[in-house]
């Protein structure tokens, strides 16, 4: 544990945790969540699904292989702040181009280390995710005001976070393929697009507010509905678009938030999980094959299985809490998974879902 206490995390319930600051000298506000991965900190920090959240890693040693220019899931750090147990000061890796501390400074993101992350993880497991404020540096005279401010922070369910992370204009990835997939970008990880183009499928990435008519004008062979941050019920414009796309009876594949949006578009309901699923080691059961898979996940909401229509079926469930991890239409080529088959970080063997999506395009 660090003896330096120039940074502080103040939770919504009044909990105060002091530690050593790193990264940018700044303050951050957001929902405090934990990730159970033992690696992949660069990928998680740049995942748009972490928008408006302060990210905590449960694995105690972070920063040991530094950062590089290739393992980015978006153009910047998306998490608002970073909480870790121990910061590695002298990292090493063959691809290393910088340190975690400098990476946070580059994007003006504050961090805190030298704290008991096990204590915070247990608190969130017991009481659920809650808002917090991370401030570096801070003065003890500020604590009273920080507590008052933390208690009044708005829930992420009061905000449309997709609007903050979606691209502003369409982007084309032409790999000379014979077919094109449109990705409705609600905060898409770059790995999703990469795994489609690696299969010689062209991609057109479009903003989340793109209409169904505009999407169909690209004459796509299929449509991917991406991951993204926040409460899916706040993204009503995308839900309306998906409803119209479903009427086209063409291949649709949703990932993470895309799974929830497809559920809402079909008339089902979603709910908020107590502390969410975030990590690269979550067990999921495929109800058709009876096989279990270790998956990468990052979500705080789930589809309510009881509200799915008769034309839909649950295809995957979490072996931790039984929540929905995949849905499929019984007649149309429409399916989705709640976990991240593209991983990054995480196990690679779920890539087969991209192969199945390509088969759907035929």
The token pair at 4 is: 């330096």
Query: Do 58 and 135 have their domain in common?
Result: yes
CA distance 301 to 326: 13
Query: Do 220 and 280 have their domain in common?
Result: yes
Cβ-Cβ contacts under 8 Å for 293 (sequence gap 6 or more) = 283, 284, 285, 286, 347, 349, 350
The token pair at 319 is: 């072996």
Specify the number of domains making up the chain. 2
Query: Do 95 and 241 have their domain in common?
Result: no
Query: Do 330 and 217 have their domain in common?
Result: yes
The mean predicted confidence, pLDDT, of the chain is: 97
Q: How much of the chain exceeds pLDDT 90, in percent?
A: 98
Which residues are the active-site residues? 256, 340, 342
Structural domain ending residue among the three candidates 112, 133, 153: 153
To which residue do tokens 């890693």 refer? 57
Query: Do 190 and 143 have their domain in common?
Result: no
Residue 289 burial (C-beta neighbours within 10 Å; 0-12, 13-18, 19+)? exposed
| DSSP code of residue 170 | -
Q: How much of the chain exceeds pLDDT 70, in percent?
A: 99
Q: What is the dihedral of CA 185, 287, 333, 246, to 10 degrees?
A: -60
Work out the number of other CB atoms within 10 angstroms of the CB of residue 7.
Answer: 28
Structural domain ending residue among the three candidates 153, 179, 210: 153
Structural domain ending residue among the three candidates 94, 120, 153: 153
The token pair at 126 is: 């017991």
Over the stretch 116-146, which tens digit does the pLDDT of each residue have? 999 999 999 999 999 999 999 999 999 999 9
Is the pLDDT at 104 greater than 60, yes or no? yes
The token pair at 221 is: 């062979």
Is 34 within 8 Å of 121 (Cβ atoms)?
A: yes
- DSSP assignment of 56-118, as one string? EESSSEE-TT-B-SS--SSSS--SSEEE-SEE-SS---TT--B-HHHHHHHTT-EEEESS-HH
| DSSP code of residue 48 | G
Quickly state the pLDDT bin for 299 (edges 50, 70, 90): very high
Query: Residue 172: inside a domain, yes or no?
Result: yes
Over the stretch 27-38, which tens digit does the pLDDT of each residue have? 999 999 999 999
Query: Do 177 and 324 have their domain in common?
Result: yes
CATH classification of the domain holding 195 = 3.40.50.880
- In this predicted structure, what is the pLDDT of residue 362? 85
- In this predicted structure, what is the pLDDT of residue 2? 52
The token pair at 358 is: 């390509």
Query: Do 85 and 197 have their domain in common?
Result: no
CATH classification of the domain holding 145 = 3.50.30.20
Query: Do 214 and 72 have their domain in common?
Result: no
- In this predicted structure, what is the pLDDT of residue 189? 98
Work out the number of other CB atoms within 10 angstroms of the CB of residue 278.
Answer: 26
- In this predicted structure, what is the pLDDT of residue 4? 79
Mean pLDDT of 97-107: 98
Query: Residue 2: inside a domain, yes or no?
Result: no
Query: Residue 1: inside a domain, yes or no?
Result: no
Three-state SS at 231? coil
- In this predicted structure, what is the pLDDT of residue 326? 98
CA distance 28 to 80: 6
Residue 347 burial (C-beta neighbours within 10 Å; 0-12, 13-18, 19+)? middle
Query: Do 65 and 193 have their domain in common?
Result: no
Over the stretch 142-160, which tens digit does the pLDDT of each residue have? 999 999 999 999 999 999 9
Q: Which of 207, 268, 280 is nearest to 237 (CA)?
A: 207
Over the stretch 182-210, which tens digit does the pLDDT of each residue have? 999 999 999 999 999 999 999 999 999 99
Over the stretch 31-72, which tens digit does the pLDDT of each residue have? 999 999 999 999 999 999 999 999 999 999 999 999 999 999
pTM above 0.85, yes or no: yes
Is the pLDDT at 3 greater than 90, yes or no? no
Residue span of the structural domain in which 45 resides: 7-153
Is the pLDDT at 1 greater than 60, yes or no? no
To which residue do tokens 């206490």 refer? 5
CA distance 274 to 130: 10
Over the stretch 218-245, which tens digit does the pLDDT of each residue have? 999 999 999 999 999 999 999 999 999 9
Query: Residue 256: inside a domain, yes or no?
Result: yes
């Amino acid at each position: 544990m660090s003896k330096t206490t120039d940074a502080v995390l103040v939770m919504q319930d009044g909990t105060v945790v002091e530690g050593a600051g790193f990264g940018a000298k700044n303050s951050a506000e957001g929902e405090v969540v934990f990730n159970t991965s033992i690696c992949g900190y660069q990928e998680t920090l740049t995942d748009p699904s972490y928008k408006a959240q302060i990210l905590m890693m449960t694995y105690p040693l972070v920063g040991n292989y530094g950062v590089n220019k290739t393992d980015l899931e978006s153009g910047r750090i998306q998490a608002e702040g970073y909480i870790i147990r121990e910061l590695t000061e002298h990292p090493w890796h063959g691809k290393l181009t910088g340190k975690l501390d400098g990476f946070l400074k580059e994007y003006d993101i504050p961090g805190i280390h030298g704290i008991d992350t096990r204590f915070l993880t247990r608190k969130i497991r017991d009481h659920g995710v809650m808002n917090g404020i991370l401030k570096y540096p801070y003065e003890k005279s500020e604590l009273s005001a920080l507590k008052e401010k933390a208690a009044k922070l708005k829930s992420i369910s009061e905000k449309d976070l997709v609007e903050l992370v979606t691209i502003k204009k369409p982007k084309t990835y032409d790999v000379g393929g014979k077919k094109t997939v449109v990705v409705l970008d609600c905060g898409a990880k770059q790995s999703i697009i990469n795994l489609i183009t690696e299969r010689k499928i062209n991609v057109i990435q479009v903003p989340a507010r793109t209409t169904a008519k505009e999407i169909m004008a690209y004459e796509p062979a299929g449509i991917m509905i991406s991951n993204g941050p926040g409460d899916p019920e706040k993204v009503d414009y995308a839900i309306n678009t998906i409803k119209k796309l479903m009427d086209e009876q063409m291949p649709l594949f949703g990932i993470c938030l895309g799974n929830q949006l497809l559920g809402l578009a079909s008339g089902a309901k979603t709910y908020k999980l107590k502390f969410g699923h975030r990590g690269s080691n979550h067990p999921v059961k495929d109800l058709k094959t009876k096989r279990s898979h270790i998956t990468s996940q990052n979500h705080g909401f789930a589809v309510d299985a009881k509200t799915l229509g008769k034309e839909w079926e649950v295809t995957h469930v979490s072996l931790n809490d039984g929540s929905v991890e995949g849905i499929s239409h019984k007649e149309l080529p429409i399916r989705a998974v709640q976990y991240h088959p593209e991983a990054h970080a995480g196990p690679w063997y779920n890539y087969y879902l991209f192969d199945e999506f390509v088969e759907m395009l035929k």
